[in-house]
Structure 1
């Protein structure tokens, strides 16, 4: 158990350069929220629902992070800063990073049946601050969800999603994500979280330029055909 904890703290340190030691990481609200969730989820699986929810409410009070005890979470999950909501039927893979103010939310169940109504997040996914991932959708491995994006449809493996509603950028995550990329919203390897809104606008401008060029090419080709 000790070695597993050390490995987890090291995985957090690899994604966040701020802490100077593992002891400092132990003060992170995201680390405490995950620890409470492990206990709550164990109780939930044992059908001790009231106790599981009690643990959940205590964790939310202490950390400002609300993880339903029914959610399934893999290894090395890291919530940076907090204020995050994760629903009951959410499934989260390994090495996932979520920034502040993210919601993994559900949709209204049809006919009153609970069912699977929250997202499934693949391995090595990064979800930027303020993003909303809603409904029983699947976010593929290595995908990036940019800051403030609203995702309501499946995300392909390795894609980078930005905007409302979220759409894929021109960049594929496998082309640039050789190392960890903060906030999941890069247009270049020199991405700076302090200028993330500018980076998102640059991505959108690139898309518009590409579409405009395609329209010009199509027009020119139509003129040549008529000539």
Structure 2
């Protein structure tokens, strides 16, 4: 457990150039506090102690400005930078080494009791104010631009921006290159 806390603090120090000291990070980083409280709330949720889990998540929201449903699954080293206004829904799944900025929403798009929130794979970055809605997957190391509204799958390592979000940068892919007709300029 303490190794996990140390990893979280190291991640904050590495990802935030404004981080002055370990003590300052431990005492003043609301996104970090929200993740730590979520881990306890999630453990309660997994044991079907739903009311204590919801009360803890409610306390975390009041204390940090970050709302993480206790049912959400969060991987290692999630860093929520300037967390105020961030919302992570009940069936969201977040991989390892994800970086989210303030005001992000991982929201649902149905009232049915099913997987209805996004999955963020390892290494994803979500820009400030971005909204990702529905049971969609944001691929490994993809980036979602600030203010984007994402309603469709995002391929690994791609960058999406806009409303609705569209791919603006995708890594070079040999299978795509094979489909491109390159004229032979040799005479």
Please tell me the TM-score bracket, short chain as reference: 0.7 to 0.9
Deviation at 1:50, TM superposition (A): 0.6
Q: Equivalent residue for 1:22?
A: 22
CA apart distance, 1:13 = 1.1
Contact 1:143–1:173 under 8 Å retained in 2:
no
Unaligned runs of 5+ in 1: 175-227
> Which residue number in structure 2 is paired with residue 32 of structure 1?
33
What's the counterpart of residue 150 of structure 1?
A: 149
Matched position secondary structure for 1:12: helix
The 1:107/1:13 distance shift into structure 2, 3 A limit, reads same
RMSD over aligned CA atoms reads 1.4
Instruction: Pick closer, same or farther for the CA change 1:173–1:21 going to 2, 3 Å.
Output: farther
User: SS in structure 2 opposite 1:168?
Assistant: strand
Instruction: State the alpha-carbon separation in 2 of the partners of residues 24 and 70 from structure 1.
Output: 29
| Counterpart position of 2:90 | 88
How far is the alpha carbon of 1:171 from its aligned partner? 4.9
Structure ranking higher in strand proportion = 2
- What residue in structure 2 maps to residue 10 of structure 1? 10
Q: Output one character per residue of 1:31-89: Cα deviation in whole Å (capped at 9) or x when no partner.
A: 11011100100000000111110001100000011000000000000101111000000
Q: Secondary structure of the equivalent of 1:169?
A: strand
Structure 2 CA distance for aligned equivalents of residues 173 and 158 of structure 1: 10
1:71 is matched with: 72
Moved over 6 A (4+): none
| Structure 1 residues 173 and 88, CA gap change in structure 2 (3 angstroms) | farther
Where structure 2 has 5 or more consecutive residues not aligned to the other structure, the ranges are 174-187
Deviation at 1:173, TM superposition (A): 9.3
Tell me, yes or no, if the aligned pair for 1:144 and 1:173 is still in contact at 8 Å: no
Higher relative contact order (CA 8 A, sep 6+): 2
Q: Equivalent residue for 1:168?
A: 167
In the alignment, is the contact (CA less than 8 A) between 2:121 and 2:140 conserved in 1? yes
TM-score, normalisation: structure 1: 0.73
State the structure with more CA Rg.
Answer: 1
> What is the number of residues matched between the two proteins?
171
